[in-house]
Amino acid sequence: MSNLILASGSPRRKELLQQIQLSFSIEVSHADETFPQELQPDEVVMELSKRKAVSVAAAHPGAFVIGSDTVVVHNGEILGKPEDSSHAKDMLRKLSGSTHSVYTGVAIVKDEQEKMFYKKTDVTFWELTEEEIDTYAASGEPLDKAGGYGIQGLGAFLVKEIRGDYFSVVGLPISQVYRSLKEMGYHP
C-alpha cells in the first residue's frame, strides 16, 4: 500500500493525481454523505471530504489520505449527482444560460494531522436548446457528476466561461493538493 491514498473512486480525481505523477493507491470511502441542510456549500464539501479521508485513514496509520467532494450550487440550491437521465435534464435546464458555482472541498489526513480547504469556481453555461440537453443526457455522461455535467468531457460544449480553478471543477484542485501535501511533510 502506498503512503498516499486517494479515498475516492472518481476516475477524474485519479487522472488528476496521475497527471502530476504522484504514486498513490485508491481506497473508496464508504462514509455517510448526508449533511445537515443548514450547512453552507463550503462547509458541506469540507465536511464530506473530511469524513471520507478520516474513514480511510483509520485503517492506514502513517499514510496521507486525500478525501474530496464536489457540489454545484445554483441560486442557493445544492445540486448533487442526478438520480437518472430525467433528473439530469432538469439540472441542465436550470443551469442553461446562467452562472453557477462549483465548490470542491479537500481534506488531507495523516494520523493526527489534517488540512482542509475548498475552492469555489464560477461557471457560466450557454443558453442550451432542448436538443442539446437531450443529446447530452443521452450520452450517459451526466449521471455520475455533480450538477449533471462534466467539464472535461462532452460537457465542455455547455460551458461559455469559467472563473476560477478549472481542475476544481473537474473534481480536485490539484495544484493546491500538491502544495498542501508538501506542507504536511509528504515527499513524492
Catalytic residue set: 69
β-strand pairing of 77-79 with 64-74: antiparallel
CB 15, CB 37: distance < 8 Å: no
What is the C-alpha separation between 92 and 20, in angstroms, rounded? 32
Contacts for 55 with CB less than 8 Å, ≥ 6 apart: 7, 29, 30, 31
Contacts for 143 with CB less than 8 Å, ≥ 6 apart: 81, 82, 84, 85, 88
